[in-house]
Amino acid sequence: MDPQPLSPDEKRALLAELLAKKSYEMFYPLSFSQEGLWFIEQLGGSASAYHIHQAYTLEGPLDIVALEKSFAALIERHEMLRTRFMVSEEGIPQQQIMPAAPFSIEVVHIPSESELQAVVASDFQRPFQLEAGYT
């Protein structure tokens, strides 16, 4: 008896089931580039040096819920956005891919351009903590 090929819907369902069973307790070795980032952070280097900073002015109405859903979908799709670095009991740096967590955008009112510039500059200087992952 020959096995029947799976329909596209059956393939999607099987993939969803396999992904749902994926364990987030597994650790993976760091890539060569990741080792470099981790090493620089351990030396007390500027973790913000590897950030790509962008600030935008949006005009018109903004659907915050739709924007949050868009970012949540990106985070769900791209494991690198959910990865944190840890050190094993043996002292070896490793990466762990975390499950997607709820994502929300903090909305604040900043009354003046000078205050806005100060907030943006401060945010750009905030170091990314490799052991924490995204928060």
| 5 CB-side CA count, 13 A | 2
CB atoms within 10 A of CB 10: 11
pLDDT at 62: 92
- Tell me which architecture the domain covering 24-125 has in CATH: 2-Layer Sandwich (3.30)
Distance CA 110, CA 55 (A): 14
Give the rounded distance of the alpha carbon of 19 from its chain centre.
18
Distance CA 95, CA 86 (A): 6
pLDDT at 50: 66
pLDDT at 23: 59
Planar angle of CA 115, 117, 118, nearest 5 degrees: 65
pLDDT at 77: 92
pLDDT at 70: 95
pLDDT in tens, the chain (135 residues): 566 788 889 888 887 777 666 656 678 899 998 898 888 888 876 656 667 778 888 899 999 999 999 999 999 999 888 888 888 889 899 998 888 888 999 888 888 999 999 988 888 877 777 777 666
pLDDT at 95: 92
Helix, strand or coil, per DSSP, at residue 84: strand
pLDDT at 41: 81
